[in-house]
Amino acid sequence: MESVDLSESNSLKMRQGEHIILRLTYISRYNTDNANGEVTRILEQARQNNERNGITGALVFNHNYFLQSIEGARPIINGLLRKLVQDERHHSLQVIECREVEQRHWNKWSMKYLIPSDENKGLALKFSTGNEFNPYLMSTNQIMMLIDTLSELQEQEEQRASQKKKPWYALG
Ligand SMILES: Cc1cc2nc3c(=O)[nH]c(=O)nc-3n(C[C@H](O)[C@H](O)[C@H](O)COP(=O)(O)O)c2cc1C
């Protein structure tokens, strides 16, 4: 077997900026005319690719809008952004925030999927400017807060659901 000079491959990665972690958040509109565009298929592809490429993140789908945060090595995130812009399953992509981070926020998920539940439907409106959900009218802060709050509420709901399944003697 051929031996790999790790120090050389590491220094190449450094030169390409792979040690720098970027978090990029964008919004886009779902293309309802694209027959290959089912959201479950998009999510499956995202999770498979991201696991391979060391990308983590969260995807919100609400009222035909996407809000997505992706984090990973800078050249990888830039490569994905180019693909996303060309992807005809959505359109009108707008970058909301792009910054270097010390630590990943979504490090547990290759792509966490967030859809407002019946219980927290009003939340998306709470962070919106008008009386209709439209992320293009929302500020960066409002969008970031919406993603974070949805994620926290979903986790609480999941915890409650898993507690319900436990027998009484296992409840802590
Ligand atoms: C809303 C949306 C979110 C996506 N998220 C990701 C993602 O997180 N990771 C990814 O690799 N592809 C994602 N994609 C798919 C990419 O646009 C592109 O089709 C895919 O990366 C191409 O992969 P391939 O080069 O393996 O064919 C997303 C597409 C859409 C429409």
Give the CATH number for residue 129: 3.30.70.100
**Model confidence at 13, in pLDDT bands (50, 70, 90)?**
confident
pLDDT at 9 over 90: no
- Any domain includes 110: yes
Residue among 97, 156, 140, 149 at smallest CA distance from 122 = 149
| Structural element, H or E, at residue 95 | strand 90-100
Count of domains in the chain?
A: 1
pLDDT, residue 81, reads 98
Task: Quote the radius of gyration of the chain (alpha carbons, Å).
Answer: 19
Place 36 in a pLDDT band, splitting at 50, 70 and 90: confident
Token pair for 49: 């690719």
Q: Domain for residue 116, yes or no?
A: yes
Percent pLDDT > 70 in the chain is: 95
How far, in Å, CA of 106 to CA of 21, rounded? 12
Q: Is the pTM of this model over 0.75?
A: yes
In angstroms, rounded to a whole number, what is the distance separating the alpha carbons of residues 160 and 104?
26
d(CA 32, CA 20): 36
Return the residue whose CA atom lies nearest to atom 14 of ligand 1. Answer: 46
Q: Which among 55, 59, 84, 115 is the best mutation to test ligand 1's pocket, defined by most ligand atoms within 8 Å of the CB?
A: 84
User: Candidates 40, 83, 112: which one to mutate for ligand 1, based on the most atoms within 8 Å of Cβ?
Assistant: 83
* Ligand 1 atom nearest 84 alpha carbon: 17
What domain range is 38 assigned to? 17-164
Share of the chain above pLDDT 90, in %: 65
Task: Compare 5 and 88 and report the one with higher pLDDT.
Answer: 88
* Tokens found for residue 156: 């609480």
Cα 130 to averaged position of ligand 1 atoms, centre (Å): 30
Distance (angstroms) between ligand 1 centre and the Cα of 80 equals: 7
Structural domain includes residue 1: no
